[in-house]
Structures are given as C-alpha cells and as structure tokens.
Amino acid sequence: MTDSLARALDIAREYAARRTHGPVWPTATLQALRAALGGPLPHDPIDPAEVIVALAQAAGPGIVATTGPRYFGFVTGGALPAAVAADWLTAVWDQPASLYVLSPAASVVEEVAGGWLLDLLGLPQAASVGFVTGCHMANFTALAAARHEMLRRAGWDVEDDGLTGAPALRVLVGNEVHVSVLGALRLLGIGSREVVRVAADSQGRMRPDALDVAMGDGPTIVCAQAGNVNTGAFDPLDDIAAITRRRGAWLHVDGAFGLWASASAALRHHTRGVDRADSWATDAHKWLNVPYDSGLVFVANPAAHRAAMSLSAEYLIRTPNEPREPMDWTPEASRRARGFAVYAALRSLGRRGVEDLLDRCCRLARRFADRLRADSGIEILNDVVLNQVLVRAKPASGDADAATRAALARVQAERICWLGGTRWHGMDAMRISVSNWSTTDEDVDRSAESIIRATSFVS
Ligand SMILES: *Cc1c(COP(=O)(O)O)cnc(C)c1O
C-alpha cells in the first residue's frame, strides 16, 4: 500500500511537470493503447507498486493533458493542487458519503462547503445542496425536485404514483438548451418532443418575449441557461424569473460553468436575478478546477429536493441540529465523498482566488479573440462576454466551413493546444474555452499562433 502510493506520487509529479510542455493531445493510436493495456486477466496477483508502474506506462501515451494550460476543449477546467491532494485523501479515506454514521467528516464538509457555495454564488442561504457527479446529474436532480413540486401542487404524488395518469407537465427550454437538460428530462419520463423550445437571440439567449407567449397553464417548468456552451452568453434571468414567478412556474437554471459568474464583481451582472430561480445546476469540475467528477445542485425548496431524492420517504425536514445525510440530496446512495475536494478548492482559493480565476480566464479569452481577430483570415463569431470564443476561418475565396474544419484538424495535429469543433447557427467553428487555473498569457499567445498558422495554411 505505502509503496504503491509512493510510486503513484512519483509518477504524478513527473506528469505534472511534463504537462506544461509536452504535446497536449497524445500520439498513441487506439490500436497501440489496446495492445499496451490489453491481454487476458492475469491469473495470479501482481505486486501493487508493479501494477501502478505498468499502468502508468501503458496508459501514459493515451493521456490527454486536459489539466494542462493549453487545453481549451469543451469546457474542461483544470485541477487545483489542493483539490487534487484532497481527492487523493478522499480515495485513501474511502468514505461512503451516504449517511452521517458512515462518515461524520464527509457530512460536515458537505454542509460547510455547501454554505460557502451558496454565499459565493449569491443563492438563497436556505437552499439545499447536493454533491453529484456532474452538471448532468445536477440537472437531473433539480428537475426531479421540480417535477415533484409542480405535480404535488397539482395534487399528484409522482414518487408514489408515477407519471401514468399524472397531470400534464409543461417543460419549456431555450432553443439553445444544453443536451444535458434534455437528457435529464428524458430520465424523468419527459420526452424530448414534449419539451417546448423557446426562441433564442443571435447569441443563443432565450428571448423573454417568446417565453411569455409560450407559457401555458398547468404545472410548468422553465429551464434557463447561464453560460451557453458555444458563446458563453446568459439567458436574461431577471426577466425570465419575473415571468415564471407571475405564472407560478418552476425556474431551473443550468449554469454548468456560467453560474460561477456570480462570484465575480466584474461578471455578476450576467446572472442578475439568478437568486429568484427555484433550482440551479453547476459543475465544480469545470470552472472551479476540482478533479472529475464533481457537480453541484441547489434547490431553493429543500423539502422538494429531499422528497425527490430521499429513499426514506420522510417528507419532513429535520431540525437544523440533526446531521446532514448526504444521500438525501443526490440520486446515488453510496458514493465518493467528493465534498472534500470542493472544500479544499474553495479554501485554497478563498473568495478572492475564485474571483481572480474567473476574471483571469475571461481576460485570457478576450486576449485570444483579439489576437485571432487581428488576422484577416479569421473571424470571431460570438460576443466574448465570458470564457468562450468561437473561431471561424474566413478564406479569401472558397468554403469557410471546409477551411475551418481543415484548420482545426491542423491545430489538433500540431498539439501545441487542443480545442474542439462545433456547428453554430449553421456554421462550422472552432470552440475555445479558457477555464484552467494555470493558463497564462504566453499559453494563449502560443496557441493563437498555432491557430493562425493553421488557418493561413488552409485558406
Ligand atoms: C458541461 C455542461 C453540462 C453537463 O455537465 P457534466 O459535467 O458533463 O455532467 C450541462 N450544461 C452545460 C451548459 C454544460 O456546459
């Protein structure tokens, strides 16, 4: 045990030192990885330290430097040193975070970190918090609470009686809703074709006037978005909340990364009115730079949250002096005590550190956009209001979609940085997300040069 941990520490240190200069995306082929990692299950035990060394050797060529400073794919975040170390301890302690009796420390850490998060994100202090695997499960959990509460108000007990014969539940989403919300609804028995899509504007923001028109009668859930996965744009939450409140609907906010804007004085205007929603979903593994997996769900009405998740079917909130039972707030029963890493991340950054991280990423996204925009062969498609930049080749002649795809392939092959592609409003684009604590100006400049080089080659 001690020996395998010591070997893991050596390997981890070496990796952390290398990820800032090595290729961001690995060179191993699928076939090579299968060969290196494959083979039959050994019959006899192997020494743990030996297993760890062999694993690192075989897996190494297939590891993507997602925690490195020039990984801009998806919205991935990084891994803060304190959070990684806390995550290791989480594995060593191996606490099932389901009941207080299984781990008093895991329960109290969730309670404390939960309070800090509500404060930091400007959410109602009485809201309940769940530590889930990611924003997808956070959306699922929040929407389960919404389904419970909206049907309860209509006189229906969905936990006991299911959906057959239940009053119709109307669900409205913005036209640029993240697929995760639709996936979460599907798990809750609400098919994607049942969902009403509300028109969005040029940046992908839900239009409140269109929402107002689309609102109907009966139990209704509205899913808004803080942080469009392409543009970073925010739905106008204040206007949307005014509508949902007037109509007695439940407002859920998918804010996987955008919800963090509330923790920055410079960005807070984007989430104005967010505290008037009923539930919120976000990630710690994206912008807070906690290791995967770590998502967070908040519900303004703890009774609804608990009713939807609790396996004890006790619909009463316990007294404040009773300990927190972690499993009352998540779909899982036994699970990893992921509150420790969130706690360590928040404590190591402090309020100011979180704000600096957010502001720095946004400043670097603007720097990226400025560098790229200065090149005549490139255009930036979105208003860079947050950490997301949409880049498109603008060839003097010919097909801009094809040129964009070809340029992206060259950038990915050069491996100085990594970013993914997207289709946005009928156009191919390269999508940059700056969400890593360790990214510097220099990283952005080197990466922008790689993109410019690639684009000039294909145009
Ligand atoms: C990433 C993301 C999700 C899904 O989150 P996971 O962490 O992958 O579970 C949902 N909504 C938005 C807007 C996202 O960016």
Task: Specify the ligand 1 atom closest to the Cα of 137.
Answer: 9
Whether 257 lines ligand 1, by a CB cut-off of 6 Å, is: yes
Coil, helix or strand at residue 202: coil
Task: Specify the ligand 1 atom closest to the Cα of 228.
Answer: 13
How much distance in Å is there from the Cα of 435 to the middle of ligand 1? 14
The per-residue pLDDT for 321 is 78
* Amino acid at position 243, single letter: I
Whether 417 lines ligand 1, by a CB cut-off of 6 Å, is: no
From residue 319, alpha-carbon distances to 116, 169, 209, 324, 371 in Å are 20, 32, 42, 10, 56
Q: Report the share of the chain in percent with pLDDT over 90.
A: 95
How much distance in Å is there from the Cα of 38 to the middle of ligand 1? 31
- Angle at which helix 135-153 crosses helix 302-309, to 10 degrees, equals 100
How much distance in Å is there from the Cα of 458 to the middle of ligand 1? 32
| 110-135 pLDDT, tens digit each | 999 999 999 999 999 999 999 999 99
Mean pLDDT of the chain: 96
Work out whether strand 420-424 and strand 388-393 pair parallel, antiparallel, or are unpaired. unpaired
Of 185, 252, 283, which is best to mutate to test ligand 1, by the most ligand atoms within 8 angstroms of its C-beta? 283
| 296-317 pLDDT, tens digit each | 999 999 999 999 998 875 544 5
Whether 235 lines ligand 1, by a CB cut-off of 6 Å, is: no
Whether 364 lines ligand 1, by a CB cut-off of 6 Å, is: no
Whether 229 lines ligand 1, by a CB cut-off of 6 Å, is: yes
Average pLDDT (238-256) is 98
Average pLDDT (424-434) is 97
For residue 2, pLDDT beyond 60:
no
Whether 251 lines ligand 1, by a CB cut-off of 6 Å, is: no
Banded model confidence at residue 30, pLDDT cuts 50, 70, 90 = very high
The per-residue pLDDT for 279 is 98
Structure tokens at 442: 């220099």
Sheet holding 279-283, edge to edge: 128-132, 295-299, 279-283, 250-254, 220-225, 170-174, 196-198
Whether 106 lines ligand 1, by a CB cut-off of 6 Å, is: no
Whether 134 lines ligand 1, by a CB cut-off of 6 Å, is: yes
Whether 255 lines ligand 1, by a CB cut-off of 6 Å, is: no
Average pLDDT (171-187) is 98
State residue 298 phi and psi, 5-degree precision.
-130, 140
Closest C-alpha to ligand 1, atom 12:
256
Average pLDDT (86-99) is 96
Whether 295 lines ligand 1, by a CB cut-off of 6 Å, is: yes
The per-residue pLDDT for 313 is 52
How much distance in Å is there from the Cα of 140 to the middle of ligand 1? 11
Task: Specify the ligand 1 atom closest to the Cα of 133.
Answer: 9
Of 74, 136, 296, which is best to mutate to test ligand 1, by the most ligand atoms within 8 angstroms of its C-beta? 136
How much distance in Å is there from the Cα of 245 to the middle of ligand 1? 26
The per-residue pLDDT for 317 is 55
201 burial type by CB count under 10 A (0-12 exposed, 13-18 middle, 19+ buried): middle
How much distance in Å is there from the Cα of 375 to the middle of ligand 1? 32
The per-residue pLDDT for 316 is 47
Task: Specify the ligand 1 atom closest to the Cα of 295.
Answer: 7
Work out whether strand 295-299 and strand 128-132 pair parallel, antiparallel, or are unpaired. antiparallel
Whether 79 lines ligand 1, by a CB cut-off of 6 Å, is: no
How much distance in Å is there from the Cα of 387 to the middle of ligand 1? 15
Element (H, E) at 170: strand 170-174
Structure tokens at 49: 């330290």
The per-residue pLDDT for 296 is 98
How much distance in Å is there from the Cα of 39 to the middle of ligand 1? 35
Task: Specify the ligand 1 atom closest to the Cα of 258.
Answer: 13
Closest C-alpha to ligand 1, atom 14:
256
Banded model confidence at residue 367, pLDDT cuts 50, 70, 90 = very high
| 190-238 pLDDT, tens digit each | 999 999 999 999 999 999 999 999 999 999 999 999 999 999 999 999 9
For residue 459, pLDDT beyond 80:
no
Banded model confidence at residue 318, pLDDT cuts 50, 70, 90 = low
CB atoms near residue 320 (< 10 Å): 5
For residue 319, pLDDT beyond 70:
no
Whether 256 lines ligand 1, by a CB cut-off of 6 Å, is: yes
| 252-270 pLDDT, tens digit each | 999 999 999 999 999 999 9
CB atoms near residue 383 (< 10 Å): 13
